[in-house]
Amino acid sequence: MSAQLQDFGRFLTNKRVFATIIVFIILALLFSFEINAWRKFDWSLFVANARYVSLLRAVTAVAIIHVGFLLRAVRWSVLLRPLKAVPAARLIGPTFVGFTGLALLGRPGELIRPYLISRKEGLSISSQLAALTLERIFDTASAVVLILTTILLSPTTRTLPHAEEFRRGALMLLGLMTVLTIIVLLFAKRGEKFDWVLKGILSPLPAGLAKKAAEIAGTFSADLNLIRDAKSLAQIVVLSISIWFLVGLAYFETIHAFGNLWCMSLGDAFLLMGFSLLGSLVQLPGGGTPQLIVVAALIQVFGVSAELSVSCGMLAWLTIYMAPVPLGVALLHHEHSSLRALVRSSTRPSVA
């Protein structure tokens, strides 16, 4: 189990390095246009914006995000159905702790949730990594569908600058996700057919390393086959769409916590969610990168003042990215554990 976790951790590290370069290039381009605006930043106006935030709207956004985490536990329960009947209630704790780790530690915290569920339910870690992979695919596809629908149908979004570029980008991403989904499903259903392809790819490697890699790929392929019937697929699709609709709704409540942003529509909130997803490709500790992109998008795309954009970005950081932290920390305290201890345990060679 340890070797599979370490391999998955290395995969995430390589992915993070590549994504970091891409996102930082985008950030540099976005903020290069804002130098003059930041030079004229009015701190008194920033304080005034922060002072008159609607607490009810902010709390509503946090509550909506919490409902989304409950739906995530239900979805993971559906994914585990072919392996073991696990009530969704048993997965709520690991879900909150896992997302707390992701918020506070960045990508290293990604391993916490599958590790906790594996240990708690007596399931293989490879099966939980497969569930995490499928979850990410459905998350990305659902978010892209909602954002694309927003761009195509929302009257206010269609009038924004670069709306046509957004539409083309969303369509390309949707096409890429479709291809990726097909490949993953084929790998899950017909993994043995790709065995000869994998052997050919791995042939230049030393025999021992190639054999080990093939074994891991074979196990992962079998574990990916978690969706066995149309009912489960339909449930996962509905849950995934619902989860990301709630995230968009949380963004809507967050931006409407500021009286000066009441003109922004639900479609605008979904587009803003899309910008934050771009930043979440690099889940640095504290979730700062998505907020920087949200602030830049509010200024450049929606024409919001720098002071109000920063206030909104900071509130979104609290209501959306940090939402699971209080409950997650409380659960860790109850279990007399810590996030760093869980990360160390999940990758320690002695883990069986």
| pTM across the whole model | 0.76
Q: What is the mean pLDDT of the chain?
A: 77
**pLDDT at residue 74, rounded to an integer:** 97
- Domain membership flag for residue 273: yes
* 281-295 tens-digit pLDDT: 655 555 567 778 888
Comparing 12-16, 97-101, 226-230, the range with the smallest average pLDDT is: 12-16
- Domain membership flag for residue 253: yes
- Looking at the predicted structure, is the pLDDT value of residue 252 above 70? yes
* 190-229 tens-digit pLDDT: 655 555 555 555 556 566 655 555 555 555 555 566 777 7
Q: How many other CB atoms are found less than 10 A from the CB of residue 85?
A: 8
Q: Identify the band that residue 351 occupies on the pLDDT scale cut at 50, 70 and 90.
A: very low
- Looking at the predicted structure, is the pLDDT value of residue 11 above 70? no
Residue 82 belongs to what domain range?
2-347
- Looking at the predicted structure, is the pLDDT value of residue 91 above 90? yes
Rg (CA), the chain: 21
**pLDDT at residue 240, rounded to an integer:** 95
**pLDDT at residue 294, rounded to an integer:** 87
SS3 sequence of the chain: CHHHHHHHHHHHHHHHHHHHHHHHHHHHHHHHCCHHHHHCCCHHHHHHHHHCCCHHHHHHHHHHHHHHHHHHHHHHHHHHCCCCCCCCHHHHHHHHHHHHHHHHHCHHHHHHHHHHHHHHHCCCHHHHHHHHHHHHHHHHHHHHHHHHHHHHHCHHHHCCCCHHHHHHHHHHHHHHHHHHHHHHHHHHHCHHHHHHHHHHHHCCCCHHHHHHHHHHHHHHHHHHCCCCCHHHHHHHHHHHHHHHHHHHHHHHHHHCCCHHHCCCCHHHHHHHHHHHHHHHCCCCHHHHHHHHHHHHHHHHCCCCCHHHHHHHHHHHHHHHHCCCHHHHHHHHHHCCCCHHHHHHHHHCCCCC
* 275 vs 241, higher pLDDT: 241
Q: Which of 117, 125, 113 is nearest to 87 (CA)?
A: 117
Q: How many separate domains does the chain show?
A: 1
* 27 vs 145, higher pLDDT: 145
* 31-82 tens-digit pLDDT: 554 444 555 566 666 667 677 789 999 999 999 999 999 999 999 999 999 8
**CA distance readout (Å), 304 to 151, 174, 175, 177, 299:** 19, 29, 32, 32, 5
* 229-250 tens-digit pLDDT: 788 888 999 999 999 999 999 9
Is residue 97 within 8 Å of residue 112, measured between CB atoms? yes
* 71-87 tens-digit pLDDT: 999 999 999 998 899 99
Is residue 65 within 8 Å of residue 319, measured between CB atoms? yes
- Domain membership flag for residue 352: no
